Chains A and B, each alone.
Chain A
Amino acid sequence: MSTIREDNGGSASMFASLLVDDAEAQRRLHARLVASATAEGILDVAYHAIDTPIGSLLLAATDQGLVRVAFGSEDRESVLSMLAERISPRVLNAPGRLDAAAREIDEYFEGRRNSFDVPLDFRLAQGFRRAVLTHLLEIPYGDTASYASVAARSGKPKAARAVGSACATNPIPVVVPCHRVVRSDGTLGGYGGGPQVKEILLDLEAHHD
């Protein structure tokens, strides 16, 4: 609260004990809101942040599936604002809907999982970019493909550059493995989470393949 009116001889101080934030009650009420919003089908976007070896990952899901994975380097507030603008402002921090995705990502980083089973929602990608994302899922764990070969697989052999931007704007990185796309000369190429993260992911897959 920004202002407590004090224009009546400090009357607000009488209510001091009512003005204390009750964090426990807020947690309880938040959980109750998430439960009833889920039951009524009006929780359009649920999100939850998890810790991983590549830093914090923000996961967001619609009722269709995982819709966004954001790296710790991305501004969390802008990611959530984008979800509110593009999908729905009915956005709540609701870990329950992300349980399965969080568990699978944990297993992936422990080297115990080489493909993801959670449903995906591709609504944040359109047209050719979306087609590219679905083809990325065909690159096996531990393998890499060149931008040009993904372009060919997506039906536009000359669109290697467009494949690059599809990877750069991949809304569901790690789970949709844009990190497996590298340059034809063997160098890694760019990555949304930074080149080191790309290297870590490829190393991890090379060691558990």
Chain B
Amino acid sequence: MRPFEQVVVDHGPVVLRVCRAVIGPNEAEDVWSETFLSALGAYPDLRPGTNIEAWLVTIAKRKAIDRHRARARGPVPVENLPDMPAPVQDKPGSRENELWQALRELPSKQREAVAYHYIAGMPYAQVAEILGNSEAAARRAAADGIKRFRATYKGELS
């Protein structure tokens, strides 16, 4: 088993990008921190051969849902990430900010599919595993998400 430091170095940046895209830049660092702390705790018991990046992204997704649930009044069961993460507060008007805003407009499945495939570079089979759907459905969600994102994002730029 590799030292956990190597896991942080190899996968930290990708997981942060995914968190920023899926949860929004405001909460991304909190979710990243909770994810890697939880991963460090569980790491010695991780089954050999596990895809580390998919494992981390799955933990991040669960942490994001936990945060959403904690924010909601009472213990409301939440199966999915919210369709709209909290609005972006910093860097108004920047190109990056517009990207976040456009991503924020997407339904959660599409936003996740786009983030896992286009930002983390995961193959659709792996995206499907995290989303809990089929490879075809994951591919469709990413394609729909990209189409919708393109429309929104270009609109804002022109």
Contacts and interface: CB of A to CB of B under 8 A. Distances in A.
B8 A33 contact: yes
B114 to A, nearest CB: 8
Interface stretch (A9-17, A119-127, A164-172): A9-17
B4 A26 contact: no
Contact of B119 (A19, A26, A40, A93): A19
Contacts, number: 107
Nearest to A13: B118
B40 A26 contact: no
A109 to B, nearest CB: 26
Interface centre among B3, B4, B119 (most CB of A within 10 A): B3
Contacts of B142: 8
B133 interface: no
Given A1-B120, A29-B32, A80-B5, A89 B12 contact: no
A42 B40 contact: yes
Interface centre among A5, A28, A37, A83 (most CB of B within 10 A): A5
Given A14-B149, A29-B33, A90 B119 contact: no
A73 interface: no
Given A14-B153, A26-B12, A1 B121 contact: yes
A29 B41 contact: no
Interface stretch (B13-21, B57-65, B67-75, B81-89): B13-21
B146 A8 contact: yes
A42 B142 CA distance: 37
A22 to B, nearest CB: 7
A204 to B, nearest CB: 32
B99 to A, nearest CB: 6
B117 A91 contact: no
Nearest to B39: A33
Contact of B117 (A5, A18, A30, A88): A5
Nearest to B120: A1
B29 interface: yes
A34 B43 CA distance: 15
A83 B3 contact: yes
A84 B43 CA distance: 11
Interface string B36-70: 11001101100000000000000000000000000
Nearest to A91: B3
B118 A4 contact: yes
Contacts of A45: 3
A23 B3 CA distance: 20
Given A4-B121, A29-B12, A32-B33, A84 B1 contact: yes
Interface of A: 1-5, 8, 11-12, 14-15, 17-19, 21-22, 25-26, 28-30, 32-33, 36-37, 40, 42-43, 45, 47, 80-81, 83-85, 88-93
Closest 5 CB pairs of A and B: A91-B3, A89-B1, A84-B3, A3-B121, A80-B3
Given A12-B118, A22-B13, A42-B41, 11 more contacts: A1-B120, A12-B119, A14-B99, A17-B96, A25-B16, A26-B13, A28-B29, A29-B32, A84-B1, A90-B40, A92-B4
